[in-house]
Amino acid sequence: MSNERFQKLEKLKFANKATVDKDLNEKSNLNISKKTSKRPSNQLKGSLLGWYSVLSTQSLKQNQLYFFSMFNEPLVIYKDKDSVVKCIKDLCPHRGASFRGGKITNEGELVCPYHGARYTSKGECSNLDRITCNHIVDTNYDNYAKKIHLYQYPCIEKGDYIYIYYTGKAKTNLTEFNIDSKIEETVPESYGFSTSEYAYEEVTVDFKADWSRIIENHLDILHIFWVHGDTIPDKDVSKNVITSFDQEIIREQSQIESKYNHKDKSKGEFITIKFIPPGRVVIYKGTPETARYVQILDHIPLANNRARVIVRHYRKFLKNKLITKLIMFKQLQHKIFYKVFKEDYLILRTQTFNQQMGYIEKDNVKLLGEDKMVQYYWDWLQNALNKDKPWDLHPMKVNTNSIHEDSDMLYPPENPKLAKKNIRSIQFNLLLRSLFPIGGILLILL
């Protein structure tokens, strides 16, 4: 372990039963309070503003405008003509239109759908003669066009992820950003995973629930057995089997890690869950160097009550593309992903509602020893919210129309069209294989 990092090793022995941690009970408060406690040196330091993984490289096609938002601020990602990724505020600096309905020209320029302003990859207006046509009465047009400029955020592609450096204040000049952490300190390689050694499957899922609630859910070991016991294909994950663990929590300034080892030593490690601020959760077994299977979950705070999760499962087995296609590995994995998220969804929504309506008060929640990871996460979040106030940067006005909400939700579990499409694909492939085994193989190969 690095000497530069402060660390504290805590060993919490517990069985998977109601072991009430007194200390936690006294501290537990899921409401975000304004009080800031004195931070011990091993307290997480990460800010809510900074690098976020917001999109998978494979999800962004050339000439595609990818609309999303961060803390209520509408944004667009696209590739310019050299396939360099760009992230801009979804706001045309002429009269504030969205780029929805706009396009990217063959020269890689972004065109506003309202009056046709074109913007170069640097964000400058390029139709210096006329925006739309010749009917311009502004005699100072040339000067005007030179002044309008897109508002941007630093954006970079790394390891099949697209990251943006989000500050809540987009700028016309990217060199004005004061970037305090290198992207290399954010990628999975920085905590030991060599992602090029893995194959992966991925889904993106949207929730109408609070962003921080979803992260809390992914740090929560307890619910896995109860909520997902019938879905996750692991004999130890079942609501009917009591499994006992030892827990070891390592707190550092850059991450918190919780290791769960079977009390039955012969069974070894069950799982390690790691939280890396602001929005990444990594789950694996063993060490980053040896793990055969790694789950990386990136949480994107789209807006009030809306969050996106990119779930990527890396594996060192079943890497042969033909075999994985033949056994429909991708579709079967997706089926599990969708079911797991559907199982979480109702709970997340009601929990968010209870919190936002003020129904959860200090004494209403009593945390278990197993919830310590969740408590540490909330401690960090509380401090970070007080310091960065990201939700104050672009507060959502009431009575806003819901264009962003309606068109941006990629996969709300309440509208499970992707899950249905996935099932149809499984059924079709099964039929194909049963009717025409050879023809089916040929079709897959083609």
Q: Which residues bind ligand FES (CB under 6 A)?
A: 92, 94-95, 97, 112, 114-117, 131
Q: How far is the CB of 303 from ligand FES (least distance, A)?
A: 23
**Count of Cβ atoms closer than 10 Å to residue 112 Cβ:** 24
* Of 101 and 439, CB closest to ligand FES: 101
Minimum distance of ligand FES from residue 121's CB (angstroms): 17
CA distance linking residue 51 with residue 179, whole number of Å: 9
94 is in the binding site of which of ligand FES, Fe ion, none (Cβ under 5 to 8 A by kind)?
ligand FES
Give the shortest CB-136-to-ligand FES separation in angstroms. 12
> By C-beta, is 114 or 177 nearer to ligand FES?
114
DSSP letter at 82 equals: T
Q: Please give the structure tokens belonging to residue 43.
A: 């307290």
Give the closest residue to 258 by CA, choosing from 222, 208, 214.
222
Contact of residue 440 among ligand FES, Fe ion, none (CB under 5-8 Å per partner type): none
- Measured in whole angstroms, the distance separating CA 351 from the mean position of its chain's CA atoms is 19
Q: 222 CB contacts (<8 Å, ≥6 apart)?
A: 16, 368, 370, 371
> Which lies closer to Fe ion via its Cβ, residue 117 or residue 271?
271
For residue 48, the partner it binds in Fe ion, ligand FES, none, with Cβ less than 5 to 8 A by kind, is none
- The item of ligand FES, Fe ion, none sharing an interface with residue 131, based on CB under 5 to 8 Å by kind, is ligand FES
Closest CA to 243 of 12, 14, 10, 24: 14
- Pick 8 or 147: Cβ nearer ligand FES: 147
Please provide residue 127's backbone torsions phi and psi, each rounded to the nearest 5 degrees.
-90, 80
Residues 6+ apart with CB under 8 A from 82: 108, 121
Q: Which is nearer to ligand FES, 71 or 119 (CB)?
A: 119
229 binds, among ligand FES, Fe ion, none (CB under 5 to 8 A by kind): none
Comparison of 94 and 325: residue with beta carbon closer to ligand FES: 94
Residue type, 283: I
In the complex, minimum distance from the CB of residue 72 to ligand FES, in angstroms, rounded to a whole number: 21
Q: Which is nearer to Fe ion, 75 or 282 (CB)?
A: 282
Residue carrying the six token digits 């311009």: 136
- Residue 344 binding: pick among Fe ion, ligand FES, none (C-beta 5-8 Å cut-off by kind): Fe ion
Of residues 279, 6, 317, the one with CA closest to residue 163: 279
State the DSSP code for 113: T
Residues that bind Fe ion (CB under 5 A): 344
Min separation Cβ 128 and ligand FES, Å: 14
Strand partners of residue 103: 111
Q: Which does 112 bind (CB under 5 to 8 A by kind): Fe ion, ligand FES, none?
A: ligand FES
CA–CA gap between residue 441 and residue 446 (Å, rounded): 9
Which CB sits closer to Fe ion, 237 or 276?
237
- Which residue, 94 or 263, has its beta carbon nearer to ligand FES? 94
CA pair distance 214, 223, nearest whole angstrom: 12
- Min CB(131)–ligand FES separation in Å: 5
Surface-to-core class of residue 347, CB atoms within 10 Å of its CB (0-12 exposed, 13-18 middle, 19+ buried): middle
Nearest approach in angstroms of CB 99 to ligand FES is 8
95 binds, among ligand FES, Fe ion, none (CB under 5 to 8 A by kind): ligand FES
Give the nearest distance from C-beta 347 to Fe ion in angstroms: 8
CB-based contact 338:317 (threshold 8 Å): no
Do residues 224 and 232 lie in contact, with contact meaning Cβ atoms separated by under 8 Å? yes
Out of Fe ion, ligand FES, none, what residue 444 binds, judged by CB under 5 to 8 A for its kind, is none
Q: For strand 161-166 and strand 110-111, is the pairing parallel, antiparallel, or unpaired?
A: unpaired
The least CB distance from residue 339 to Fe ion, in Å, is: 11
